Homo-oligomer: A and B are copies of this chain.
Amino acid sequence: MSLKHSLLVLLAEQSSTGYELSQKYKEAIGFFWKASHQQIYKQLKELTADGWVTFEEQSQQGKPDKKKYQVTDSGFQELQRWLSSEIKPAKANDALLVMLYGGKHVEHQVLLQEIERHKGLHEKNLKKLEAIQGLYLSLSKAQQKEYRLPYLTLKRGLSSEKAWLQWAEEVIEELSDAAQ
């Protein structure tokens, strides 16, 4: 399991509330790890029970209390243990490819449409990542050095989105040509 560990990674970077964490799962690390707010709140509870994080409540008027979570010493140890362990390769369950694989049972037009739709989504993702890259490149050398590792993950995102789009071009050409 690594949802817990991804939470530890984010909390080690900066103490946060559940809500703030769920934002990060959409932005900073969204392209390589997804988690809903429901999952996050549940796991934060378990992490607390494990003794790997603690929280301070900050009461707010009107709104419910904020809980600011932070990593404990034993949580930090656990994080280091995990970082030094063997990581399982990501499991890819890609329904779009299942569709293409079995695509002969529908018209090419149907496949094309769906691929075009996904292409739109991937283009949007790529733009987002490029924007983050722009921010990174505008930092000072010292700051760039600090964020070197997160930047490497960003590069993975850029590379994978670009490769996807290139492949999609090929597919679209192939399916359009070979009109059935």
Chain A residues within CB distance 8 Å of chain B? 2, 5-6, 8-10, 12-13, 29, 31-34, 76, 79-80, 82-84, 86-106, 110-111, 114, 117-118, 121, 148-150, 152-153, 155-156, 159-160, 162-164, 166-167, 170-171, 174, 178
Contacts and interface: CB of A to CB of B under 8 A. Distances in A.
Contacts of A82: 99
Most chain B beta-carbon contacts within 10 A, residue among A88, A98, A159 = A98
Contacts of A29: 97-98, 101
A93 B90 CA distance: 6
A105 B117 contact: no
Given A9-B101, A92-B32, A152 B166 contact: no
Contact of A178 (B2, B148, B153): B148
B121 A148 contact: no
Contact of A84 (B33, B84, B110, B163): B110
A167 B159 contact: yes
A121 B89 CA distance: 9
27 contacts: A2-B98, A5-B98, A6-B95, A6-B102, A13-B102, A29-B101, A32-B94, A32-B101, A34-B93, A79-B102, A80-B105, A82-B99, A83-B102, A83-B110, A83-B111, A87-B95, A87-B99, A87-B118, A90-B96, A100-B153, A102-B149, A103-B149, A155-B167, A156-B167, A159-B163, A160-B163, A160-B167
A90 B155 CA distance: 19
Contact of A32 (B12, B79, B97, B160): B97
Contacts of A31: 92
